[in-house]
Amino acid sequence: LAEKDAKYLLLNAVKRRKVFNNHNRTTPAGGNDYFESAVAHPNLLLSDLIKAVYPEALPDYSFTYIKPLEKEPFRE
């Protein structure tokens, strides 16, 4: 992110390495499953968001639709 724009480094989420995207699961055809099935499974999406914000609340839960961005791209 910092390579795209250094202003991202001002954001607390970036500083704490708590940036996520919605590319965790794809369909058999290669599409992003977030856009195809998350609307039918709001419970899974809500669990993903809870895990992202309060990881201690769901310690054994694995993300379904979202995932943390890799730590390497964050350069200060």
pTM of the model: 0.80
DSSP string, 5-69: -GGGGGSHHHHTT--EES-S-B-TTS-BHHHHHGGG-HHHHHHHHHHHH-GGGSTT---SS-EEP
Domain boundaries, the chain: 6-68
pLDDT tens for 1-53 read 777 888 988 999 888 889 999 999 999 999 999 999 999 999 999 999 999 99
